[in-house]
Structures are given as C-alpha cells and as structure tokens.
Structure 1
C-alpha cells in the first residue's frame, strides 16, 4: 500500500491504530434525506453505533428531509469528498427521482460514489378486505373486468408506491385509478377505511395491518416467500419477474471521494452487518442486510434509474422538483 493511501485511510478512520487520533476532531455524518422514524432513518440509526465503534470515531445521523429526498441528497453531493459525509440513498432518491423530475438538484450517477447497499426491503401489494379477490389471479381478473374503476392510493405522484403501481399495470395490461395523497399516513388511513382499495407498500409498513386482518396481501417482491407471509406468492412465482425487485437503502459518498476511502467505508458497513444484534434490529423492521461491493451498488443504481425511466414514460409521469 502506498504511503498516500495509508494516510488517506488513517484520516478516514479505517486503520484502528491511527483512527483514535482522528476521533476527537472528526465525526462521520450520515445524511438521511427523510424525516425521523421511517425505515431509512431506522436503518441509519441501527448502523451508527457499530460503525462508530468499528471506525473509532463519532457517527452522527443528520436528517435533512424535503423535496422527496432531494434536499438531503443535494447536501451530500456538495459535501467535501473526504469520506466524512455519506448519504443514505434509496430507490426513491436514486431511482425514482431521476426518472420523474424534470429538474433535480443532483445527478444520481455523476454526483456520487456508490459505497454499498445496506439493506433490501421487500415490497407488498395489499388490498382492502372489501375487494372481492382472494388472490392475485382473481385480482387481475377483477381489474380487467373493471378497467379504471378500482382505486389505488399512493403517498403522492412520483413516489415509489406510485411507480410500483404503474409498473404493475404495465406488466399485467390492467388499469386502475390513481388517488394521490400527501404522505403515507393519510393514504393508509383511507385505505384502512376502504375509501381506496389498493396500495403498493413495503412489507415492514403494512405487515401489522395484514396480520390484524385489516389488509389482504396478494404478492410480495422478494426472492422467496417471506416467513411472515408464507401464503403470499412472490411476483416471480406469478411470472412477473420485473415486478419482483424489492426496495433498498444504501450509502453514497460525494463524487471524487478516494476509492480507498469508499472501500474502507463499505468494509466497515459489511462488518457491522455481520453483528447479530444489528441483523436482528434490522429484521425486526422487515429489512434484510446486504453489504454489496461499491461497483455492484453503482451498477444497481444505474439499473434502477433506467427501469424507473421506462415506468415514468409508460405512465407519463413528469414533475417539477420543489
């Protein structure tokens, strides 16, 4: 290893013996582009303590919500490329936003260095119990018999829930009526009351309602049936392979961050994700640890942007940021 790389790693807190000298004056900042309490925020906070211990420096979670995640991601893109600021990227910030917004204050590919995927989050298609379909096949038949009549809720136009619902329609040749809300809370409230009938969500959010019998799950996006929903088929089982991709959360650094630092950050996250307590804390929220390599995560982001652009063209979704 070259002396320059050793110094860079030491400054990043990646060499335990040298990290302590940096810890008192350096704090790793994890920017969460959404409010506290959500799955993105939970993921960052579960990681913060083990990362701090592994890197030998304080780790601070900094919530910067706004503009569908664009505010926080813009802050990360403009931060110093020294590995001390990382952003928690999501399918929304690095897949949906680049596809639906005419102008975005960051480039999801050019403005960041991919670090690692932290977790995957399975998605689920749910309906209100009043919907006369007990399984996915019956649901599709219902949609085809009543084109444009069945309503689906989303947290807003251009959200991941909207994109998933549009993807479902495009791959099944069906049509539903979009009812956008201002956030997930009012959307779910009306769904539970039966004012709207369909919702595409993450399993972690809908599971309590499914288990209580307030919602019916018809399909999940995962590589196998989930232990918590053993009777619910995956989209792949239904031959809808394009719909089977789950959501995810990962880490990105500002473009230009030295590759040696990016690798060190990824390795620290991977080490943290091996800890049983961390894995359990994430599993309790329906999140599955990943820890992919930087190149793998970078390719994944590009794939998601391309996919969501196809969906946005199909659904003719075009928004103005801010």
Structure 2
C-alpha cells in the first residue's frame, strides 16, 4: 500500500506543467548574467548537457552581461514563472548588488525563489608578472605602500564580488589601488594579460588557465585551505588577511511563483548532475567545488548573504548608483 501511494505521488509530480517540458518541444532557458569566459559561464556550461539529459529537454544558455549581473537577473525576474526560465545567481547579483546599489531592476528576495547552490568558488588575487614582478603577496603589499594610488586593479565590474574583494584587501593591507571595472571576467582578464592593468581580483576558475600557463601569477586564494589546483598558493588567512578569505558561490534561481514541484525537480536534476564524475572533474579542474543544496537552504542563504554584504559594503565604503 505504501509503495502504491509513493508511485502515485511520483506519477502526479511527473505531470506537473513545466517539469517534463520536452513533450512540448520548448527548451529550458538558463540566463547567465555575465559574458562568456568567466567562472559563472563555465559553471553553467558544465551543467548544460547533463541537465538536458536528465530533464529530457533541450537546455539553452543565454549570456546577458552588464551592470554587475543586474541586466541578466532583471530578465529572469520578468520571465513567466512556468519553469522554462532560470538564472545563474552569484554572490554579486544576490549579495553584493543589493548592498551597494540603492536601486536595482530586480528585488533579490521578492522576485526569485532559490533553486540550489551549484558550487562554491574560491577567489584569487593575480598579477601580470611583466607589469608587477612581485613573487608573493608580501612583495605586492610592500610595492603598493611605496607607490600609493599608482597601481590599478581589475574586476569583472562595479559591485561584483571582485570589486568587494579588492576593497577589502586594500583595507586589510593598508594599501591604495585604483579600481578598473569591466563588463565581465573575460574583458578584465584580457586587459590584465595585455599588461594594461597589473592586479586582478576574481574567481579562481576564470584565471586558472592563465596561471598554469605562467601568464598570470597567483598570490593568494580565498578558501579555508590551499587548493588542489593551486597547491603552492597560500590562503589570505594564512598570510594574515582573514577578512579577505571568504569564497564566492554560484547558484540557480527561478522567478517567484514557479511551481514548487518544478523547482524541486530542477534542484534534484542539478544535484544529480553534480554527482556525475565527469561534471565534478570538470568543475574541480576549474577550481569550483560542487554543492547542490535544497531550495529552502539556498533561499535562506541568499537572505543571509545580503545582510552580510551590507555590512561588508559599509565597512569598505562601497556605494554605487
């Protein structure tokens, strides 16, 4: 009897509109609120094929960068709550932006329901060794103190977590640098590689290939311990900058009003995909660490991060409009 009830419940869920959408021939659209090439984009593309296979429907990724992720997130917020549109949320879009902008084209809590945290993303500070031939963080701090305001640092944009990491590091180290904001991680890295900017703050994932190739030099990472992909790079905390040691994260959100059963089905599909060895290996190779929390946990996490980032923004005196 119990088994029959369980099968009936599962059958009922399978017919909820938006859970099995391949029958309608409509793709699942995932909006990535940053340009191609960054850690957010890498995370989404790692899930594209397995989600299409697990959900049995096409999965299409759309990069809608700009305004620190606000343009893409606003589009997700405006989308019908039918389970056909999802967004990749980040600590920037659902933590930093609400803390540093007085007006946003979306409400990070009212306009979305959290689906799941996908990965944790360690941060890194890198330098172009041809521009700044420093060998470690101590040498960089010494150089910055000797040349206040003469060095620029790049981030994926105003109000991104890279911006906050940069301001926190300046405060913690007592140094001064000029912030150069870009429209995403890809353009920022390109200018750092070209030698137009000396220092760069972002997730490990987007700069890791250039670190391994010797084009960028990693000085510190924001993670509890040294990373397997960068075993020779110490953590900020180990170097005495504990307040700069917070990692970032990427998750998935849906427009408010999306049926609970649809949200749960997508969460389960993401969790299942994150258990696949090929997905885990690809993410780990990029310095990304799979999570897969429940919808309830991730929704609560977003609310917590917003409050935390408001404190960080006040501490670092970051206000953007």
Scaled by the length of structure 1, the TM-score of the pair is 0.84
Unaligned runs of 5+ in 1: none
| Correspondence 1:80-229 to 2 at 5 A | 80-129=80-129, 130-131=131-132, 133-181=134-182, 184-185=185-186, 187-229=188-230
Unaligned runs of 5+ in 2: none
Closer, same or farther: CA 142–269 of 1 in aligned 2, 3 Å: same
CA RMSD of aligned residues (A): 2.9
Counterpart residue number, 2:15: 10
Q: Is the 8 A contact 1:127 1:199 kept in 2?
A: yes
Distance 1:205 1:42 in 2: 8
| Superposed displacement of residue 13, structure 1 | 6.3
Counterpart residue number, 1:65: 65
Q: Is the 8 A contact 1:13 1:57 kept in 2?
A: no
Identify which range, 308-317 or 160-169, moves more after superposition: 308-317
1:95-144 deviation digits (Å, cap 9, x = unpaired): 22222222111111121111111122221111232536432234334434
Q: Secondary structure at the match of 1:72?
A: helix
Q: Is the 8 A contact 2:38 2:205 kept in 1?
A: no
Closer, same or farther: CA 279–136 of 1 in aligned 2, 3 Å: same
Distance 1:180 1:72 in 2: 18
Q: Secondary structure at the match of 1:114?
A: strand
| Superposed displacement of residue 203, structure 1 | 1.7
Say how many residue pairs are matched: 314
Distance 1:230 1:208 in 2: 15
1:193-212 deviation digits (Å, cap 9, x = unpaired): 54433211222222233233
Scaled by the length of structure 2, the TM-score of the pair is 0.84
| Correspondence 1:294-309 to 2 at 5 A | 294-309=295-310
Identify which range, 274-283 or 310-319, moves more after superposition: 310-319
Closer, same or farther: CA 153–141 of 1 in aligned 2, 3 Å: same
Q: Secondary structure at the match of 1:178?
A: strand
Q: Is the 8 A contact 1:164 1:200 kept in 2?
A: yes
Q: Secondary structure at the match of 2:44?
A: helix
Counterpart residue number, 1:256: 257
Q: Secondary structure at the match of 2:175?
A: coil
